[in-house]
Copies of this chain bind each other. A is one copy, B any other.
Amino acid sequence: MQATSRRCRWASIPGPNMREAASMYGTAVAVFLVILVAALQGSVPPESPFPYHIPLDPEGTLELSWNVSYVQEDVHFQLLVRGLKAGVLFGMSDRGELENADLVVLWTDGGRSYFADAWSDQKGRIHLDNQQDYQLLQAQGTPDGLVLLFKRPFATCDPKDYLIEDGTVHLVYGILEEPFQSLEAINISSLHTGLQRVQLLKPEVPTPAVPADTRTMEIRAPDVLIPSEETTYWCYITELPQGFPRHHIVMYEPIVTEGNEALVHHMEVFQCAATFESFPHFSGPCDSKMKPQRLSYCRHVLAAWALGAKAFYYPEEAGLAFGGPGSSRYLRLEVHYHNPLKIPGRRDSSGIRLYYTATLRRFDAGIMELGLVYTPVMAIPPKETAFVLTGYCTDKCTQLALPSSGVHIFASQLHTHLTGRKVVTVLARDGRETEIVNRDNHYSPHFQEIRMLKKVVSVHQGDVLITSCTYNTEDRKLATVGGFGILEEMCVNYVHYYPQTQLELCKSAVDPGFLQKYFHLVNRFNSEDVCTCPQATVPQQFASVPWNSFSRDVLRALYAFAPISMHCNRSSAVRFQGEWDLQPLPEIVSPLEEPTPHCPTRGAQSPAGPTVVNIGRGRA
């Protein structure tokens, strides 16, 4: 065990909060601190700095940087705390709640300060963790604020700990404004707390080289005045130059107006449909009544970015075609402003910078939709906490529509509406699940990034792709049916792949005839009646199902058994030739095994309790 100590100054940023705090406790906040870092154990701050950054709170008080070691299976965190008051709380939880969270806490009892691995129970009470898996490596005062450096393994095998997985991680934070006698005394509900979503385990994909003739184009918001409302989706129509020829987008990156880093939540660039000659110009909230109807035809994704994401690179052998004949010149930029503090008067010109080349790469990249058809026959009963719907891309469709050399999926964007909680796509071959294409066990419909896959997934003729979405309808009173409406549901994985093929959509839904058998049998088991007459629509039928354990379980059983109707479509909704109705569900004889988490061997390096971070109190 190694112990180092160092003396340094608290950052003293004389902001109003600090003055408040100073007067509150009668002592100064610019204090001297002596850091006792308990266990450095071969973990000097890693040589590469922290490639990933994200502001945690809208004021930018807390800033997180991190890096990932897939070899060590751990994450190094660097947390910058501006204007530290009495402490800070940081951690992760299933969906961003402060209850049942896995936490690190830096707190002071007025004299000493402590750093500890802790957890909160379902009532939000904080407890010291038996196993100290967050390991403090350094605490340092800098001109910007206090910098805490700590690391944690992906998996700790402590049942109180969060398992860091691929996909979305809900980070939580809290600001301690006053000393607490103990961890247990901290009252979460009295703190300023919040959450931030991020993909913590970024893939370690080597950055492909960008061709020498690469040019850039910026699709940016036109100096928008950010509305002082919590949520705004801003729509802006722009266009490519007249006669802009066919190019390949090889990369793109976000441009975020300085100072607005915590407000710009996500941005997407869509290409409009080639069916229309022209599109009206527009700049305003996407839900504005002034928004021209036609803009709903601008849905073909060219680029998508969300908070915490970095530049997106196409594989060296592929690019996304845009421009040239047969494609629309019109582009729609959508910016999601998240302004929970309703800060007024902020102007913004954020957007996306496209890097493109005229030297077309070997392959066009394509986007394929996997999952469920947008139809009400796929429905989720109300009051379900984790109802799963599954969409299939069958062997018959991949056999017919994919080239014999297969296609290669390199990125994926998962999509559901409001009740989606998890999404996963699995590849199966000869009845055996072999590989996960993309999985997000903490999926949020408010955080739909395009994500590079850690490993390119090759799909061959005859392969099956199974996309499952888990929904939570606890707050709904009626069944949630599939459809386009925001209160209806979707289950989609937009996979980015090359070489582009004719297959644009490979999705399924339960056979409608079998659904009618379901309504019949529900009637047989219940006194209330579901109308199985021809004039009733499926949403009406679902609305009249009496939701008891039997009707729920049997709907689940139906979806797991009944034949499906396949949509194996070219662009513009033309099906490939063949029989696509009443198809058997793909049979899986060997599901993918869940890997057992690899528990780190714990040795002398783990402290048994809190690490003392002796913060002496200084002068004003």
A-to-B contact residues, CB < 8 Å: 130-131, 157-160, 514, 517, 520-521, 524-525, 548-550, 553-554, 556-558, 560-562, 596-597, 599-604, 606, 608
Q: Is the CB of A601 within 8 A of B131?
A: yes
Q: Is the CB of A553 within 8 A of B549?
A: no
A158 to B514, CA, bound (A): 45
* A130-B601, A524-B520 known; A560+B549 contact, CB < 8 A: yes
* A158-B157, A520-B524, A525-B517 known; A557+B554 contact, CB < 8 A: yes
Closest beta carbon of chain B to A388's beta carbon, Å = 13
Option from B130, B514, B554, B606 in Cβ contact (under 8 Å) with A599: B130
Closest beta carbon of chain B to A18's beta carbon, Å = 38
A525 to B159, CA, bound (A): 43
Option from B520, B557, B608 in Cβ contact (under 8 Å) with A550: B557
* A553-B557, A558-B550 known; A159+B608 contact, CB < 8 A: no
Q: Is the CB of A561 within 8 A of B556?
A: no
Which 5 pairs show the lowest CB-CB distances between chains A and B? A553-B557, A550-B561, A521-B521, A159-B596, A549-B561
Given A131-B599, A554-B557, A601-B608; 7 other pairs, CB 8 A cutoff? A159-B596, A521-B521, A525-B561, A550-B561, A553-B553, A553-B554, A603-B608
Can you list 6 contacts pairing A with B, beta carbon distance less than 8 Å?
A: A130-B599, A131-B599, A131-B602, A517-B524, A525-B561, A550-B562
* A521-B521, A599-B158 known; A561+B553 contact, CB < 8 A: yes
Option from B131, B520, B557, B601 in Cβ contact (under 8 Å) with A557: B557
Closest beta carbon of chain B to A580's beta carbon, Å = 22
A517 to B520, CA, bound (A): 12
Q: Is the CB of B561 within 8 A of A599?
A: no
Q: Is the CB of B553 within 8 A of A599?
A: no
Q: Is the CB of B548 within 8 A of A553?
A: no
Closest beta carbon of chain B to A576's beta carbon, Å = 28
A597 to B556, CA, bound (A): 32
B residues near A524, Cβ cutoff 8 Å: 517, 520-521
A517 to B525, CA, bound (A): 8
B residues near A608, Cβ cutoff 8 Å: 601, 603
Q: Which residue of B lies closest to A156 (CB)?
A: B157
Closest beta carbon of chain B to A611's beta carbon, Å = 15
Closest beta carbon of chain B to A265's beta carbon, Å = 35
A223 to B560, CA, bound (A): 60
B residues near A597, Cβ cutoff 8 Å: 159
Closest beta carbon of chain B to A599's beta carbon, Å = 6
B residues near A157, Cβ cutoff 8 Å: 157-159
A548 to B514, CA, bound (A): 15
A554 to B549, CA, bound (A): 11
Closest beta carbon of chain B to A510's beta carbon, Å = 12
B residues near A159, Cβ cutoff 8 Å: 157, 596-597, 599
A550 to B159, CA, bound (A): 35
B residues near A514, Cβ cutoff 8 Å: 525
B residues near A561, Cβ cutoff 8 Å: 525, 548-550, 553
A517 to B550, CA, bound (A): 13
Closest beta carbon of chain B to A54's beta carbon, Å = 31
B residues near A562, Cβ cutoff 8 Å: 550
Q: Which residue of B lies closest to A130 (CB)?
A: B601
Q: Is the CB of A604 within 8 A of B604?
A: yes
A608 to B605, CA, bound (A): 13
A548 to B554, CA, bound (A): 13
A417 to B519, CA, bound (A): 38
B residues near A525, Cβ cutoff 8 Å: 514, 517, 561
B residues near A603, Cβ cutoff 8 Å: 608
Most buried by B among A514, A549, A557: A557
Q: Is the CB of A602 within 8 A of B599?
A: no
Q: Is the CB of A560 within 8 A of B556?
A: no
B residues near A549, Cβ cutoff 8 Å: 557, 560-561
Q: Is the CB of B553 within 8 A of A556?
A: yes
B residues near A158, Cβ cutoff 8 Å: 157, 599
A303 to B160, CA, bound (A): 44
